[in-house]
Chain A
């Protein structure tokens, strides 16, 4: 073997070893990032805290206050705008009250499961990492003077958003969260300017301050929840990669005259709700189009006498594709059989 060939061989071995080391380091970093996220989830589920944060989206900076209490397995939370609109959300294990003073409306929604308030925190297992890459970032100083570790949750394609989280080293609470597109464009930022973990908070801080006399109260009439009908009548075709139907139910939403089918598709982290309801009577008309609520997108269309609305914190294309794939079972079967040459006469 010539000297030159031996050099090549050694170089190759060195490259292979370096690559293996890089893969190992990345895997360890991802594991550490996953552990940090798990500890963050645990902190969110078990701590009592109050704080103020800036919510930056669409170029707007708005200040919000949050009070959150975990006591004897019960969650209580109040979220309040400090920037003028007066909107606030008060929620506990039983219901969510949403005060919208600018439209003089209060929406009250019962929770179908008391455990659901924090029961949907994502689990960072292998299936999730098929859609997202976890990266452990640097250690940084926070706005409040503490130290935080940065974790990046990077989407593997354009059908979902990414996250960058600053996790406090002591409390493990997320003191800053950036939501970004797959291209890395920041869409929404939640930045705490004050955050205090405490042992208890009095009931008084969870009472709404909005004077709602004369407001329209939109209440859920009865918590109708059946799980089989929606899945039996509707099909979701051609879901975006990584998304799967994760739950379905039929429920009564606040303000709805009839039960609404609620299907949920998820990639393990991002969720999209699909609401299917009979087209309401006049003066309401079926609508088609899209809407945006902060960083969440919705897409509505009219299908077989029903209003179908897909809503979730995912890119607009994702909700549009999911909504486009909603079909009544008999139509889906017809479409499938027409594609199958064997079924043609």
Chain B
């Protein structure tokens, strides 16, 4: 991959790529899975550099500290001046929650037999980019009538890992249930439906447990 392309992907991750170049790059991303992997990698690197990524137990404390620092920076300006005591109360709650959750995750990740890929990804304090999850390749493809379903890249079945019991977190199914219920009352603009987030392979997070 050329240096120019790497620089473009890096700029895209940072949101600094000019619009015209973004569109060209999006075209290539559409065609080239390797580019999409590079994009994911760059995003992870950026998240780690920002100190807001948590991908293993040993980084939990660092991740929580960075996230707490980010909390202060992200409080909307209008509110910051309106009710500072209230904000600090909320942030205090978040800090305690994040710290306890961080410890909980640390413990969870060190449980014998822990399989990070099978347990719901947990966001301690966002923006958190979870580690790249293993992709479950289609085990078999069946011939399906109808030109649309028979399209070249639509998987027909999947090999899936056994679900692990989730400890101390709201189960993914419950969170999914909340999201689905919310989709009924939300006001999507364009096609940014909250259901997109359930379908994508991103960090479907459980709530940190206490």
**Interface positions of A (Cβ within 8 A of B):** 37, 40, 44, 50, 53-67, 79-89, 91, 96, 98, 100-105, 107, 109, 111-113, 116-117, 120-122, 140-141, 143, 153, 157-159, 163, 165, 174, 177, 179, 182, 185-186, 188, 190-191, 193, 201-202, 204-205, 209-211, 216, 218, 238, 240-241, 246-247, 251, 253-256, 262, 264, 266, 268-271, 273, 275, 285-298, 300-302, 309, 311-313, 315-317, 320-321, 324
Q: Beyond the given A81-B201, A82-B155, A104-B163, please list 17 additional residue pairs across the A-B interface where CB-CB is below 8 A.
A: A62-B202, A63-B30, A81-B199, A83-B135, A105-B176, A107-B180, A113-B184, A120-B188, A143-B23, A209-B144, A218-B176, A255-B174, A270-B187, A287-B168, A289-B208, A313-B194, A315-B76
| Pairwise interchain contact B30-A298, C-beta atoms closer than 8 A | no
* B160-199 interface bits toward A, Cβ cutoff 8 Å, 1 = contact, 0 = none: 1111000011111111111111111111111111111111
Select which of B101, B126, B158, B181 is within 8 A of A109 by beta carbon.
B181
| Pairwise interchain contact A100-B176, C-beta atoms closer than 8 A | yes
Q: Which residue of A lies closest to B20 (CB)?
A: A140
| Pairwise interchain contact B187-A109, C-beta atoms closer than 8 A | no
Complex CA gap A118/B172 in Å reads: 26
Considering the complex of A and B, which 6 residue pairs feature the smallest CB-CB distances, nearest first?
A59-B43, A294-B197, A158-B76, A289-B208, A177-B190, A174-B190
Complex CA gap A255/B117 in Å reads: 23
Could you say which residues of chain A place their CB within 8 Å of the CB of B120?
103
Given contacts A153-B189, A292-B205, A298-B178, are A210 and B42 in contact (CB under 8 A)?
no
| Pairwise interchain contact A292-B123, C-beta atoms closer than 8 A | yes
Could you say which residues of chain B place their CB within 8 Å of the CB of A188?
192
Given contacts A66-B191, A111-B184, A309-B207, are A85 and B175 in contact (CB under 8 A)?
no
A198 to chain B, nearest CB (A): 10
Could you say which residues of chain B place their CB within 8 Å of the CB of A37?
189
Could you say which residues of chain A place their CB within 8 Å of the CB of B179?
293, 296, 311
| Pairwise interchain contact A82-B191, C-beta atoms closer than 8 A | no
Given contacts A58-B43, A84-B135, are A109 and B177 in contact (CB under 8 A)?
yes
| Pairwise interchain contact A275-B208, C-beta atoms closer than 8 A | no
| Pairwise interchain contact B79-A289, C-beta atoms closer than 8 A | no
Q: Max chain A CB contacts within 10 Å: which of B90, B180, B181?
A: B181
Complex CA gap A149/B167 in Å reads: 48
Q: Which residue of A lies closest to B179 (CB)?
A: A293
Select which of A60, A111, A300 is within 8 A of B43 by beta carbon.
A60
Could you say which residues of chain B place their CB within 8 Å of the CB of A309?
170, 178, 207
| Pairwise interchain contact A216-B173, C-beta atoms closer than 8 A | yes
B34 to chain A, nearest CB (A): 11
Given contacts A58-B203, A210-B158, A271-B182, are A105 and B76 in contact (CB under 8 A)?
no
Given contacts A59-B47, A101-B160, A298-B175, are A193 and B30 in contact (CB under 8 A)?
yes
Q: Which residue of B lies closest to A270 (CB)?
A: B187
B191 to chain A, nearest CB (A): 5
| Pairwise interchain contact B40-A324, C-beta atoms closer than 8 A | no
Complex CA gap A275/B182 in Å reads: 9
Could you say which residues of chain A place their CB within 8 Å of the CB of B75?
158, 317
Q: Max chain A CB contacts within 10 Å: which of B93, B101, B199?
A: B199
Could you say which residues of chain B place their CB within 8 Å of the CB of A58?
43, 47, 127, 129, 202-203
B77 to chain A, nearest CB (A): 6
Complex CA gap A288/B94 in Å reads: 9
Select which of B46, B89, B199, B206 is within 8 A of A64 by beta carbon.
B199
B71 to chain A, nearest CB (A): 8
B42 to chain A, nearest CB (A): 7
**Interface positions of B (Cβ within 8 A of A):** 13, 15, 19, 23, 26-27, 29-30, 36, 39-40, 42-44, 46-47, 74-79, 83, 86, 89-90, 93-94, 96-98, 100-101, 118, 120, 122-129, 133, 135-138, 144-146, 148-149, 153-158, 160-163, 168-210
| Pairwise interchain contact B200-A57, C-beta atoms closer than 8 A | yes
In the assembled complex, 26 residue pairs joining A and B whose CB atoms fall closer than 8 Å, in A order, are: A54-B29, A59-B42, A60-B43, A61-B29, A67-B148, A82-B153, A107-B173, A107-B177, A109-B181, A116-B185, A143-B26, A174-B191, A177-B192, A191-B26, A204-B149, A240-B79, A241-B79, A251-B181, A254-B177, A271-B182, A287-B208, A287-B210, A293-B179, A313-B186, A315-B76, A324-B89
| Pairwise interchain contact B180-A96, C-beta atoms closer than 8 A | yes
Could you say which residues of chain B place their CB within 8 Å of the CB of A269?
187, 189
Could you say which residues of chain B place their CB within 8 Å of the CB of A312?
182, 186
A140 to chain B, nearest CB (A): 8
Select which of B40, B174, B187 is within 8 A of A61 by beta carbon.
B40
| Pairwise interchain contact B161-A102, C-beta atoms closer than 8 A | yes
Select which of A91, A104, A159, A294 is within 8 A of B200 by beta carbon.
A294
Given contacts A58-B127, A59-B13, A321-B90, are A292 and B192 in contact (CB under 8 A)?
no
Could you say which residues of chain B place their CB within 8 Å of the CB of A204?
145-146, 148-149
